[in-house]
Amino acid sequence: MRKLLSQVCIYFCCISFFSIQAHAQQLRLPDYFSNNMVLQQLDTVTLWGWADATQKIWVKADWLADTIYTTSASNARWQIHLATPKAGGPHELTVSNGQQSITIQNILIGELWLCSGQSNMEMSAAWHYDHWQEEVANANFPEIRLFHVYKTVASCPADELRGRWEICTPATIMNFSAVGYFFGRQLYKQLRIPIGLIESCWGGTPIETWMPDSIFAQHPHLAASAQVFQPVPWCPITPSVTFNAMIAPLHCLPLAGVIWYQGETNTANPQTYTEDFSRMIASWRHLWKKDFPFYFVQIAPYQYQQPYSAALLREAQLRTYQQVPHTGMVVITDITGDTTDIHPKDKKDVGERLARWALALNYHHPEIMYSGPIYDSMKIENHQIRIYFDFAKDGLVIRGNKLTDIYIAGVDRHFLPAESKIEGSTLIVWNRQIPNPVAVRFGFANTAMPNLFKRAGLPASPFRTDDWPVP
């Protein structure tokens, strides 16, 4: 009996030994370090993964002359800082711990952009295939790579997220962000270098879910503002949970920049959106230790139930652009069409307008016009008000017989439709019933689709010159 027990103990000890050995030899990398990936050119990537504690790890990249070595820590994690070359490829990289090796193939070096937000960023060709059938059929771009971050939440910043790099084809583009794809395709057509796109978005999420906990700890009024949201079955509303799970794990990947399309859900609390958005951008830049560009889309006209909720949200987005350096805002009031659809179908123009900002400011294409007129200041002249704009040096134009969605008010704060005329790069506004005007509002309504443009064809952003309370 003792002999049998002894044999059983030896058997289980052997199993445990080999299990430990098998575990000890496991070498693993996060999902975004995998075949077909794109790394940011001329930067430093923090390549990391897991192995047994205190194991020696070596990394060989075919663009480097020397092999790089490190040792895994007591928690089994290891990391190496890996310099990247100029755009090009394909390249190959091998990681080994002596017992196992992982080889990553078909790596491209180029420009890596993060695409984030809620449903209008998430919206893919599969949502309206009939509308985008021809675009999908022509989506064969081997040097554009797509990484779709799987939806998940976390109560604290995670190390890892799930997803897979794919080559851009008609099949893979079907369920990838349409805005992201059209943005990346425009960059590729102009730059002719590899483009990597990381989609990390979730329809219906308020901005608070994409912000780290530290912001709410330091600014309780923002946490209080987030309490307005009621639980829904299709997305999380708890602050920080998508940031923790779907943004924080990406910080080891250097980015060229971020494109963002979000805000529809925050029409429920637009009064704090400028601060939320500004602090979110700052927190992401702090995490990456890089002041990367952040280009975003002003929300589209839509019949929201609360009066002025979308107008106030657009105003908050405009203020963010005006206050936060290295940001850019795309106005889409002219391409929405149906104000009963919160998901406008035209994502091609949206993506390409975002690309204009990047091409002009990041990639130094001075010939590209990237913004429509942005309100700068006003001046009262007798019975009229003159409006000054940024991005209007080439002149203003009105599409149609007269300017729409323009209102003027006196000290009584009662707004009436205004007459207007263009003088060079300025707009003069008046109403004969208001002899002493003090304020102007342009496109300041949920569904407004005004018709003022710069001569190059980009629309003016809605604005108001007053800061009076609205219903």
63 and 163 co-located in one domain: no
pLDDT above 70 for 14: no
CATH (domain of 98): 2.60.40
pLDDT above 50 for 342: yes
Residue pLDDT, tens place only, 223-281: 999 999 999 999 999 999 999 999 999 999 999 999 999 999 999 999 999 999 999 99
Is there a domain that residue 29 lies in? no
> Looking at 337, 362, 387, which one is the last position of a domain?
362
Residue 154 tokens, joined: 């976390």
CA dist., res. 241 & res. 236, Å (int): 8
Residues 6 or more apart whose Cβ sits within 8 Å of residue 471: 307, 308
Distances (CA, A) of 306 to 342, 419, 435: 14, 28, 32
Q: What is the mean pLDDT of residues 126-135?
A: 88
Q: What per-residue confidence (pLDDT) applies to 25?
A: 45
Is there a domain that residue 22 lies in? no
Q: What is the mean pLDDT of residues 26-50?
A: 97
Is there a domain that residue 17 lies in? no
pLDDT category of residue 399 using cuts at 50, 70 and 90: very high
| Start-end of H helices in 293-346 | 309-323
> Looking at 77, 107, 137, which one is the last position of a domain?
107
Give the closest residue to 270 by CA, choosing from 233, 229, 318, 314.
314
Residue pLDDT, tens place only, 90-121: 999 999 999 999 999 999 999 999 999 999 99
Neighbours of 366 (CB within 10 A): 8
349 and 402 co-located in one domain: no
119 and 63 co-located in one domain: no
Q: What per-residue confidence (pLDDT) applies to 417?
A: 98
> Looking at 107, 122, 152, which one is the last position of a domain?
107
352 and 415 co-located in one domain: no
CA dist., res. 149 & res. 151, Å (int): 6
Residue pLDDT, tens place only, 424-470: 999 999 999 999 999 999 999 999 999 999 999 999 999 999 999 99
Distances (CA, A) of 368 to 360, 372, 459: 6, 12, 15
Within 262-321, strands assigned E span: 294-297
CA dist., res. 97 & res. 94, Å (int): 10
Residue pLDDT, tens place only, 372-387: 999 999 999 999 999 9
CA dist., res. 91 & res. 108, Å (int): 6
3-state secondary structure 154-195: CCCCCCCCCCCEEEECHHHHCCCEHHHHHHHHHHHHHHCCCE
Q: What per-residue confidence (pLDDT) applies to 11?
A: 38
pLDDT above 60 for 31: yes
Is there a domain that residue 24 lies in? no
Q: What per-residue confidence (pLDDT) applies to 4?
A: 36
pLDDT above 70 for 13: no
pLDDT above 70 for 195: yes
Cβ atoms of 34 and 164 closer than 8 Å: yes
Is there a domain that residue 68 lies in? yes
Neighbours of 122 (CB within 10 A): 28
Say what the pTM is.
0.94
Domain count, the chain: 3
303 and 437 co-located in one domain: no
Secondary structure of residue 128 in the 3-state scheme: helix
Single-letter residue type at 186: Q
195 and 308 co-located in one domain: yes
CA dist., res. 395 & res. 233, Å (int): 48
Cβ atoms of 70 and 89 closer than 8 Å: no
Q: What per-residue confidence (pLDDT) applies to 131?
A: 83
Is there a domain that residue 11 lies in? no
**CB half-sphere exposure, 142, CA atoms < 13 A:** 5
pLDDT category of residue 130 using cuts at 50, 70 and 90: confident
Share of the chain above pLDDT 90, in %: 92
CATH (domain of 194): 3.40.50.1110
pLDDT above 70 for 18: no
Q: What per-residue confidence (pLDDT) applies to 453?
A: 98
94 and 176 co-located in one domain: no
149 and 281 co-located in one domain: yes
**Residue 415: which domain range?**
374-464
Residue pLDDT, tens place only, 283-328: 999 999 999 999 999 999 999 999 999 999 999 999 999 999 999 9
Cβ atoms of 181 and 173 closer than 8 Å: yes
Q: Pick the range with the lowest mean pLDDT from 11-20, 61-70, 301-310, 337-346.
A: 11-20
Residue 159 tokens, joined: 């190390």
341 and 318 co-located in one domain: yes
Is there a domain that residue 14 lies in? no
Cis peptide before 471 (omega within 30 of 0): no
180 and 305 co-located in one domain: yes
Place of tokens 């003016």: 460
Is there a domain that residue 5 lies in? no
Residues 6 or more apart whose Cβ sits within 8 Å of residue 125: 132, 135, 136, 173, 174, 175, 176, 178
Cβ atoms of 143 and 70 closer than 8 Å: no
279 and 164 co-located in one domain: yes
| DSSP code of residue 229 | P
Residues in the chain: 471
201 and 250 co-located in one domain: yes
The torsion region of residue 370 among left (phi > 0), alpha (psi -120 to 50) and beta comes to: alpha
Beta bridge partners of 427: 387, 422
